[in-house]
Amino acid sequence: MPEKLLAVGGTADIYDLGNGKVFKRFHEDKPDYCIENEIECTSSEVAVSLGAPKVYERVNDERGRGIIMEYVTGRSMLEDMFLQGSGFDIGKNAEEMAKLQYKINEFDGTMFPKGHDVMRERILQSGYLDDTTKAKLLKLLETLPQGNGVCHSDMHPGNIIVTENGFRVIDWCDTMCDSVWLDVARTLLIFESVSEMPGVNTEDLNKSRYAWKTYYRTAFEKLAGKSEEELEGWMAVVAAVRLAEERPENHPWMMERIRRAVEGI
């Protein structure tokens, strides 16, 4: 049986098994497809080259459904920020994160689901949008350029582990193939969202998020150039998809972003 609970997530909980291994036990409401998809994404060439944890075994027994994986040791960029306090250089770390994300998108992603297709399906399934808004968002989606690069889809400081041998990117559970600006939009929305962490002042946390967002976007645009219109379109599409995952406090401004984006369509 799993020995020690390390983390609780929206999709799965992580347990320390000892001997450098963890058990990622998926919640009962998550379909087997989520497990299969994570194994495939985490074992892909791009994920392995960026330090994704090794996958040892798929489990479906009395312990639950999930994956036994390597325990990636080290601290995340997010943990380093809280530990180092004022000594932590957000600008430098945001730049490193932008470089990693840019590198990821340079890989051929055609083995992964197409981002346009995934976004279309999730918009259609949304219970937060009326049919008129859905139709307008789908028209907006059709105008956004497609790409064949890899999109990590959950790039943020908590998923970048700082180790003795460099950075390792974890949590490859929703990897897609498309324009890099889809990936950037998802990251920016994470930074813009109100969030909470046990023992951390929410106001201080959100100030740090704003600083991360500003430095990160500046660093990424230096690498990839600017694509303001495309990015704003993706921000609206991703906001529509993320509504079901977000805290209620984030819903009003996300809906307003969507409304502005589809106005006139």
163 lies in the same domain as 59? no
**Looking at the structure, do residues 98 and 146 belong to the same domain, yes or no?**
yes
User: What pLDDT is stored for residue 214 in this prediction?
Assistant: 96
DSSP secondary structure, 131-196, as one string: HHHHHHHHHHHHHSPP--EEE-S--SGGGEEEETTEEEE---SS-EEE-HHHHHHHHHHHHHS---
Tokens of 36: 């299969």
Q: Which residues, in sequence order, are CB contacts of 40 under 8 Å at separation 6+?
A: none
Q: Are residues 47 and 100 in the same domain?
A: no
Residue 25, beta-bridge partner list = 13, 66
At 90, the pLDDT band (50, 70, 90 cuts) reads very high
pLDDT the model gives residue 52: 97
Give yes or no: residues 180 and 237 share one domain.
yes
Element (H, E) at 107: none
CATH assignment at residue 187 = 3.90.1200.10
Question: Is there a single domain that holds both residue 38 and residue 150?
Answer: no
CB-based contact 244:127 (threshold 8 Å)? yes
Q: In this model, does residue 94 exceed pLDDT 70? A: yes
Clarify whether residues 221 and 202 are in a common domain.
yes
Question: Which stretches of the chain are DSSP H helices?
Answer: 32-42, 45-49, 77-84, 90-105, 115-125, 131-143, 180-192, 202-224, 228-242, 251-262
| DSSP-derived secondary structure letter, 19 | T
174 and 101, same structural domain? yes
Instruction: Out of 70, 90, 125, pick the residue that ends a domain.
Output: 70
- Identify whether residues 159 and 127 lie together within a single domain: yes
CA atoms within 13 A on the CB side of 150: 26
H/E stretch holding 18: strand 12-18
Do 49 and 134 have their domain in common?
no
Same domain, 98 and 20: no
Residues 108 and 217 in one domain: yes
The angle subtended at Cα 51 by Cα 48 and Cα 53, nearest 5°, is: 80
Which residues constitute the domain of residue 29? Answer: 4-70
- Domain with residue 36: its CATH number is 3.30.200.20
Which amino acid is present at 22? V
What tens digit of pLDDT does each residue of 98-145 get? 999 999 999 999 999 999 999 999 999 999 999 999 999 999 999 999
Taking Cα atoms as reference points, which of 163, 145, 147 lies closest to residue 107? Answer: 147
Residues 112 and 227 both lie in one domain? yes
Our count of domains for the chain comes to: 2
For the segment 13-57, what is each residue's pLDDT rounded down to a tens digit?
Answer: 999 999 999 999 999 999 999 999 999 999 999 999 999 999 999
Output the pLDDT for position 69.
Answer: 97
Mean pLDDT over each residue of the chain, to the nearest integer: 93
pLDDT at residue 254 in the model? 96
What would the pLDDT profile of 189-247 be if each residue is shown by its tens digit? 999 988 777 777 777 888 889 999 999 999 999 999 988 889 999 999 999 999 988 98
Supply the Cα-derived Rg of the chain in whole angstroms: 18
